[in-house]
Amino acid sequence: MAAPEVREGGAAAPPRPGFRPDIQGLRAIAVLLVVLFHSGVEVLSGGYVGVDVFFVISGFLITTHLLQSLEREGRIRFGRFYAKRARRILPAALLVAGLTVVAAWLWMSPLLLRKVVVGAIATALYVPNYFFAAEDTNYLAETTPSVFQHYWSLGIEEQFYLLWPALLAVGFWLCRRSERRVMVLVAGLTAVSFLACVVMMSVAQPWAFFSLPTRAWELGVGGLVAFLLRSGARWLDSPRTGLLAWAGLAGLVAVAFSFDEGTVFPGWTAALPVAATAAMIIGGAAPGSMHATALLSVRPLQFIGAISYSLYLVHWPLQVIPHAATFTEQPLPLAQSLALGALAVPLAWLLYRLVERPVISWSVLRERRQWLTGLAAAAASLAVVATSTGVALAGAQQSLASERSAAPTPQAVEPEGTAFVPANLSPGLDDVAEDNPSVYAEGCHRSTHDDDPSGCRIGDNAEAPLVFLFGDSHAASWYPALEQLAEQGKIRLDTNTKNSCLPLDVEQQYMGRPFDSCTQWREGVMQRIDEEQPDLVLLGSYHNPERLLDADEDDPGAGWRDGLTSTLEQIDGPQVAVLQDVPTQQRKPDHCLAKNLERTDRCDVPRELAFQDDLLRAEEDAIAETDTGAAHLDLSRYFCNAESCPMIIGNTMVFRDNHHLTETFSRQMDQPMWEEIEPLLA
């Protein structure tokens, strides 16, 4: 997003010819939508469209400025243009980037520093949007977002500013200074960009979201508004045109309240907030009192509008870094998030008063050759790169284990956790997140969009009993233990697991939408069970009631119980056992332990908070209410004691994330697993 206009003398832009207080108020609405959305205000589930509002505003203002220059001088002074843009945008952006790197080093897990540093360098090189696209970042669903993720929109605008003046200058030359013809050219390019956005959504959503070619149409729409308001069309002078501002405001509010993380975005849906913003800018220029200028011109909105750029820059690190310091995927409490959002306002005001305003009028840069501004911008970018490199080197020196080792501990009930991070930890903290069951690499674990019900079978002993493993990724966590048993010739294993898909006969959801591929996959696996009649079916599920499409908020266990009951009743013949879910850690194991090498108990979850008691009771009730002879297998006594569920037992990491076992620990559970299932196979 672009910085609001300020006077060359450094004061906030006063009412003057060409100044639009309604646009200043629109900036305020846009940044407040974004800040409140990032603060967790659920009712503004579509608040992320505030960035699209900024795109339209930026396209309108920059095109207006360039057209005035072409009209007045017949050319664009590129050096002066780029220098002025650099003075407006870069000082605040690069200062916040540098301070963010330092803050991340102080408070975030050292395991996250590489991601922070790479994001900072991409930001300093003005390509953060392409970095996030290459990382396949899902902006609306990212659970561990980068502290620089909000810089993607600045990358879009900086790249647009680099190309747009040249495009208009060439267009005016080709069209012989006819604004109308250039407007047609711009309309064509805008349409092509919009079409590319829509098409790319079905090919690679991150690239549709973050790349300039697929988002330039939003700034292009703002540019078309600039052409339109200069066209002299009669209807623009009608007071009734002011009603467009009210219609646009209503449309923007509707989008902010109705869009959510499940909305397919950008694509054609982005046209709604873009069109609403364009309508507000057009309507706000109409004569008379029928538009929304009075509402948007109130002093609070004018203040927020003036500091909107600085507010956008500082609000996101204020949300992400404190959240990362909790080492949990759970969002901060709403009161805390709102407090951080409120804190961003005075910090933004300071940034605006001390950096954004003064630098634009700094005589050393304004009165010297334009190359001096470019040199200063390059130096500031290099300073951010140097700071990031220094933090990376410092982070590399941080140990991820204590100096002590721990002896391997055989599997036993009520285990005591290791109080420190052993030097011989297996797997190490830097590898634990990737310690996945081999079923993933072998292509046997189905993705969320794969409904192929065929399983993968291992075990060479043709006489061994056949065991079906059926469920989601929590069922897959038990694959290494069962794989060991298959390699020992005790069982033949047929694995049937799928991401986020419960084996329960109940309507499920994924990303807020009906999970149809789960239903199809589950029905296919149930048919295979009926046809092959295995000796044992093991059901495994992540205890998360939010997976249910129509869960009863007052009694989430009811749908769980009914779904499991139905599944048990449909499995006719084979013995069935329900694996009790593993404990859910409150903190990310590797991130928390990296900051608590000598006090691992600070990371362990208390036992009373480790399980969803209502879902445990629901499973027990379902098993008790059916006459299928299903068993309930509770292996939690091997990784929890009376007080807690430790993250480290002996020298072994138990969890690879908040609620999945490491492959290393799961393989060590082969004998406890065999003791549980052997009687069921007799």
Average pLDDT over residues 506-535: 93
Contact between 570 and 537 (Cβ < 8 Å): no
- Residue ranges of the alpha helices (H) in 74-124? 78-107, 113-124
pLDDT at 10 (0 to 100): 37
Residue ranges of the chain assigned to CATH 3.40.50 = 437-585+613-634+675-681
Single-letter code of the amino acid located at 610 = A
Q: What CATH number is given for 437-585+613-634+675-681 in this structure?
A: 3.40.50
Residue 290 DSSP one-character state = S
Whether the per-residue pLDDT at 506 is higher than 60: the answer is yes
What per-residue confidence (pLDDT) applies to 565? 94
- 433 by DSSP, 3-state: which? helix
User: What DSSP letter does each residue of 628-672 carry, written as one string?
Assistant: S--EEE--GGGT--SSEE-SEETTEE-BSSSS-B-HHHHHTTHHH
Over residues 70-97, the mean pLDDT reads: 88
* Cα–Cα distance, 99 to 169 (Å, whole number): 38
Question: In 257-409, which ranges are E strands?
Answer: none
- Give the span between the Cα atoms of 131 and 116, in whole angstroms: 12
Q: What is the pLDDT of residue 641?
A: 93
The tokens describing 658, both together, are: 């908040």
CA distance 121 to 81: 25
375 — pLDDT class (breaks 50, 70, 90):
confident
Please give the pLDDT value at position 395.
Answer: 85
CA distance 448 to 501: 8
Is a pLDDT exceeding 50 seen at residue 6? no
What is the rounded average pLDDT of the residues 600-612? 92
Cβ atoms of residues 629 and 673 within 8 Å: no
Tokens of 108: 């975030």
Instruction: Work out the angle at residue 178's Cα, subtended by the Cα atoms of residues 175 and 184, and round it to the nearest 5 degrees.
Output: 75
Q: pLDDT-derived band of residue 556, with 50, 70 and 90 as boundaries?
A: confident
| HSE (side-chain half, CA atoms, 13 Å) at 68 | 10
Mean pLDDT of 530-558: 89
Pair of tokens at residue 514: 């009906």
Tens of pLDDT, residue by residue over 261-304, are: 888 899 999 999 999 999 999 999 998 877 788 899 999 999 99
Q: Is the preceding peptide bond at 213 cis, omega within 30 degrees of 0?
A: no
- Please tell me the predicted confidence (pLDDT) of residue 364: 60
Residues 621 and 356 sit within 8 Å (Cβ to Cβ): no
Cβ-in-10-Å burial (0-12, 13-18, 19+) of 329 comes to middle
Report the alpha-carbon distance of residue 133 to residue 245 in Å, rounded.
34
As beta bridge partners, residue 457 has: 494
Tell me the helices (H) and strands (E) count for the chain, helix number first: 27, 13
Determine the average pLDDT of the residues in 529-540: 95
Rg of the chain in Å (alpha carbons): 29
> What pLDDT, on a 0 to 100 scale, did the predictor assign at position 252?
96
Model pLDDT, residue 232: 85
Predicted model pTM: 0.87
pLDDT reported for residue 3: 61
pLDDT, position 484: 96
Report the SS3 class of residue 492.
Answer: strand
Backbone φ, ψ for residue 648 (5° rounding): -125, 130
Q: How far apart are CA 470 and CA 277, in angstroms?
A: 50
Cα 280 to Cα 52: distance, rounded to the nearest angstrom:
13
Task: Please give the Cα distance from 223 to 64 (Å, whole number).
Answer: 7
Mean pLDDT of 238-247: 92
Cα three-residue angle 68-70-72, rounded to 5 degrees: 65
Instruction: State how far the Cα of 432 lies from the Cα of 428, in Å rounded to an integer.
Output: 6
Q: Which residues of 69-86 are buried (b: 16+ CB within 10 A; e: fewer)?
A: bbeeeeebeeeebbbbbb
pLDDT exceeds cutoff 70 at 12: no
In whole angstroms, give the CA distance from residue 46 to residue 264.
Answer: 11
Cis peptide upstream of residue 427 (ω within 30 degrees of 0): yes
List, in order, residues 6 or more apart from 16 with CB less than 8 Å away.
Answer: none
- For the cut 70, the answer to whether the pLDDT of residue 384 exceeds it is yes
Predicted confidence at residue 1, as pLDDT, reads: 66
Who wins on pLDDT, 33 or 87? 33
pLDDT exceeds cutoff 90 at 361: no
Q: In what helix (H) or strand (E) does residue 439 lie, and over which residues does it extend? A: helix 438-441
Instruction: Calculate the CA 24 to chain-centre distance.
Output: 29
Please, which residues have CB within 8 angstroms of residue 463's CB and are 6 or more apart in sequence?
none
Q: What is the mean pLDDT of residues 432-445?
A: 93
Lowest mean pLDDT among 114-118, 132-136, 625-629: 625-629
Residue 284 contacts by C-beta under 8 Å, 6 or more apart in sequence? Answer: 20, 22, 23, 26, 242, 245, 291, 292, 293, 296
**Closest to 216 measured CA to CA, from 134, 159, 276, 275:** 159
Listed residue (296, 290, 294) closest to 240, CA to CA? 290
